[in-house]
Structure 1
Amino acid sequence: MSAGEGMLVRCVQLHSGIDPAGNLESVLTGIAEARADGVDLLVFPETTASRSDEPGTRLVAERLDEGFVAAVVAATATDRSDGPSGAPDPVGADRGGPATGPTVVVGTVESNPDGPPFNTLVAAQDGQVVAVYRKVHLYDAFSFIESATISPGDGILETFQVKGFCIGMVNCYDLRFPEISRLLADRGVDVLLAPASWVAGPLKEEHWTTLCRARALENTCYLAAAGQAGGNRIGRSLVVAPDGVVHAMAGPEVTTLTHRLSRAALDRARQEMPVLAQRRFRVDPELITRTAPAQGTPGPAPVPLPRTAHTPNPVARPAEVVDHTSRRG
């Protein structure tokens, strides 16, 4: 494949600290290096801006138009002569490389005036925010209660384009819930991004790899996942092809993972496995409300929100109902 074909993706595996200012230098350096290397899409982990290994720690929250995110967005601008405050950019401006840069996805902790902050992913392109996703499924499992310090998101799913590929985002624990990835597939996603901060534990690495492969295979899309490294996080950033094969995987250390995605391979997988067109059920995009349980206690049954009129997915035909009790033999 020539350098001009497909899309060059890089996953950056960091060991973020709790201070956004301390993490920003690493991110801006990564953006400058990606620009010089001709990377099209640069993916950082969940909570790039502020992370702690201690459950219950309140991370540093900021608005999306200030601080960490504002600096990252400014670093993606074609004109890199000014930083977010109008001063010369100390990292990105003097590193050379192409005038255009990568689309960048980072994880942050977003201020919420109505309660605890959101665990948010932001995609920035050419000096603008092009997509925001606030984590819906909070990690209340394996003795970890993320909902004690984080609010669940609003369920709004946004997509964006890079080099003719449609991109969607999920966040870490979302991988255990296939509906959200399928909703993005329904919206035409070619590449599913999964920034994560996957906590180590018995079989957790196997869960991680299995879930990433499953989400790619069942939706016949690429999946690129950037993980947090160090402490009690597993790292293991990876790129999975639409046939479920892992094409590249990192270890547990701080590193980068770069891989070129192929439009031809994507189209071929969808022709050979037309599972999206053959579906018999659709995914209802309605969110359900759920009260976070106290640690160690089962949660209440979900309460559906009021339903609104919607147009059924044209490829999701009603399933045939078969009465097996009438069969003989």
Structure 2
Amino acid sequence: MQLTIALAQSGFPKKGDAIAQAERYAEKAAAAGAQLLVFPENFMLPGILDSEGVKEISEPLDGPFARAMADIALRHHLWIVYVIFEENPDGGQPFNTAVTVDAEGVQRGAYRKCHLYDAHGVLESDRSVAGDQLPQPVDTPFGPLGVAICYDLRFPEVARALAVAGCKLVLFPSAWNAGPRKVKHWTTLLRARAIENELFVAGICHAGKRYTGKTLVADPLGRIVASARGSSKGNAPQDLVICTIDTDAVESARDAMPVLDHRRPELYAN
């Protein structure tokens, strides 16, 4: 099955207006014939915020931000995946949540990031709470869709669980911090998740001073079939990557190398 995806390597919006920025990307994606548009992690933020700032900007999944994104999906007849800081009903720090909306503006999935990045002087756990479930496939007209977030990429169990559940495409909306060898890590991990699960993997990275960029799509053989510019030093430019994939390539790869069929899950329980 042919699927055209649009991956927004977006930055912090001018004057903090993420919705206006989303509208511009949606117009371009729709004009290019895309069926699916994906935004990076931290998409809703006006800039780098501390824990209190993130808590203040958080909203419920039926709040104004989510409704505005649903309107954009409906207006442009696009499936959209975006990441929101979801208000915590217990009053604590918010969840970092990936939301999937269909082309009619109906919310079809919400995944709370379950691996928080506490490394290299960054404490994500100071500003958000980890979810307690792995992502579940989202039913779409183009097959089950997997959505995980950024640091989840470093845990192969996440993509493997989605592959076993039937996904042929897994998305990683991310805000991959710049630093030594970070683009190499990013590209290697995305390609590895694609190769070991024999599916398509798309990494959608935030642009700007702090992040690597290098949004890309890897096919089931690990080949990079589309990408944006990026740098381990940061200052990644904004871009929109348009890529048409053929999900039938997943079955072709698995027929030739039936890795999933050769698993021994009874040995992996512990």
TM-score, scaled relative to structure 1: 0.74
Partners of 2:250 and 2:134 lie apart in 1 by: 26
Structure 1 residue 18 displacement after superposition? 9.5
Correspondence for 1:71: 68
Correspondence for 1:95: none
Gaps of at least 5 residues in structure 2 are: 230-235
The answer to whether the 8 A contact 2:32-2:242 is kept is: no
Q: Summarize the Cα distance change of 1:19–1:63 in structure 2 as closer, same or farther, 3 Å threshold.
A: farther
Correspondence for 1:48: 43
Q: Does structure 1 residue 271 correspond to structure 2 residue 255? A: yes
Amino acid of the structure 2 residue aligned with 1:119: N
Map 1:119-268; keep pairs closer than 5 Å: 119-125=96-102, 126-251=104-229, 252-268=236-252
Amino acid of the structure 1 residue aligned with 2:4: L
Amino acid of the structure 1 residue aligned with 2:87: S
The answer to whether the 8 A contact 1:136-1:152 is kept is: yes
Structure 1 residue 130 displacement after superposition? 0.5
Amino acid of the structure 2 residue aligned with 1:269: A
Q: Summarize the Cα distance change of 1:204–1:106 in structure 2 as closer, same or farther, 3 Å threshold.
A: same
Structure 1 residue 52 displacement after superposition? 3.4
User: Which of the pair is proportionally richer in helix?
Assistant: 2
The answer to whether the 8 A contact 2:18-2:44 is kept is: yes
Amino acid of the structure 2 residue aligned with 1:35: A
Partners of 1:19 and 1:70 lie apart in 2 by: 20
Q: Does structure 1 residue 107 correspond to structure 2 residue 83? A: yes
Aligned length: 258
Deviation string, structure 1 residues 88-117 (Cα, Å, up to 9, x no partner) = xxxx6xxxxxxxx22100111110022100
SS in 2 for 1:161: coil
Structure 1 residue 143 displacement after superposition? 1.0
Amino acid of the structure 2 residue aligned with 1:108: I
RMSD (CA atoms)? 1.9
Deviation string, structure 1 residues 229-273 (Cα, Å, up to 9, x no partner) = 012111110000011111111012100101111123222111112
SS in 2 for 1:29: helix
Identity of aligned residues (%): 35
Q: Summarize the Cα distance change of 1:109–1:258 in structure 2 as closer, same or farther, 3 Å threshold.
A: same
Query: RCO higher in 1 or 2 (8 Å CA, sep ≥ 6)?
Result: 2
Partners of 1:54 and 1:68 lie apart in 2 by: 18
The answer to whether the 8 A contact 1:40-1:162 is kept is: no
Partners of 1:55 and 1:208 lie apart in 2 by: 25
The 10-residue stretch of structure 1 (51-60 or 124-133) with the greater mean CA deviation from structure 2:
51-60
SS in 2 for 1:119: strand
Amino acid of the structure 1 residue aligned with 2:86: E
Partners of 1:67 and 1:34 lie apart in 2 by: 23
Partners of 1:166 and 1:214 lie apart in 2 by: 20
Deviation string, structure 1 residues 46-104 (Cα, Å, up to 9, x no partner) = 12111534665732211111121111112222xx4xxxxxxxxxxx6xxxxxxxx2210
Q: Summarize the Cα distance change of 1:279–1:247 in structure 2 as closer, same or farther, 3 Å threshold.
A: same
Q: Summarize the Cα distance change of 1:57–1:144 in structure 2 as closer, same or farther, 3 Å threshold.
A: farther
The answer to whether the 8 A contact 1:217-1:244 is kept is: yes
The answer to whether the 8 A contact 2:60-2:87 is kept is: yes
Correspondence for 2:233: none
Amino acid of the structure 2 residue aligned with 1:47: N
SS in 1 for 2:174: coil
The answer to whether the 8 A contact 1:18-1:49 is kept is: no
The answer to whether the 8 A contact 1:53-1:232 is kept is: no
Partners of 2:223 and 2:119 lie apart in 1 by: 28
Larger radius of gyration: 1
Partners of 1:18 and 1:33 lie apart in 2 by: 18
The answer to whether the 8 A contact 2:25-2:240 is kept is: no
Gaps of at least 5 residues in structure 1 are: 81-91, 93-100, 282-316, 320-329
Q: Summarize the Cα distance change of 1:156–1:202 in structure 2 as closer, same or farther, 3 Å threshold.
A: closer
